[in-house]
Amino acid sequence: MMPSSPLNLRRAIIWIGRLVLAGIFIYAGYAKLTMGMRPRPPLGVALSFFALQVDSYRILPSWGVKWVAHTLPFAEIGLGLLLLIGWRFRIWATLVTLIMLGFFAAVVRSYALGMQINCGCFATPEPLTIKTVMRDGALVALALLMTIFAFIEARRPHPWTAPEKA
């Protein structure tokens, strides 16, 4: 089997997706935990404030809102780090893509229903507008391409791998 080129388009998109999505996930998780404030509010205050934002989407029951609010910021940081490190990349890329699809579905639903809420993406007061929908759509597309290309590339020998001895 021919090894793939180290500089092909698929590899470039995987790297762009890896860097962009990892950066966004780490920043989003960190921003939710600190709320961008100095001095930083206690963790309990930050997480319960984020719960208000999750609740504003009117999708989950109270227990679901609390569970998401208390796990999502840590999951975002963890997944961002795992994307960057690259260990078991396809597993984490798939998980990130599924989470991004979930975010996108929630944002589209709220926008379509005309709900006057904040996105809650980066713990700042950011109204949910068509701009938010388009941004999330672009990130979902990037995540999908990154994951699909990662699976395609995994079927080919890596260009830096030494050829097998006959």
Chain positions contacting other proteins, by CB under 8 A: 18-19, 22-23, 26-27, 30-31, 34-39, 41-42, 44-45, 47-49, 51-53, 55-56, 62, 65-66, 80-81, 84-87, 115-118, 125, 127, 158, 160-161
Asked whether the beta carbons of 29 and 76 are under 8 A apart, the reply is yes
Q: Min. distance of Cβ 123 from other proteins in angstroms?
A: 10
Sign, CA dihedral 139-143-149-154, equals positive
Q: Which amino acid is at 45?
A: V
Nearer to other proteins, 84 or 108 (CB): 84
Q: Outline where the chain has alpha helix (H).
A: 9-34, 43-55, 62-85, 89-112, 130-154
Q: What is the nearest approach in angstroms of other proteins to the Cβ of residue 158?
A: 7
Residue 27 or 111 with smaller CB distance to other proteins: 27
User: Nearest-CA neighbor of 85 among 144, 25, 153, 163?
Assistant: 25
**Least gap, CB of 64 to other proteins (angstroms):** 11
Nearer to other proteins, 8 or 34 (CB): 34
Would you say 4 or 56 has its CB closer to other proteins?
A: 56
Q: Which of 75, 103, 79, 74 is nearest to 91 (CA)?
A: 79
Of the candidates 139, 156, 106, which has an alpha carbon nearest to the alpha carbon of residue 25?
139
| Nearest Cα to Cα of residue 54 among 41, 73, 36, 39 | 73
User: Between residues 17 and 80, which has the closer beta carbon with respect to other proteins?
Assistant: 80
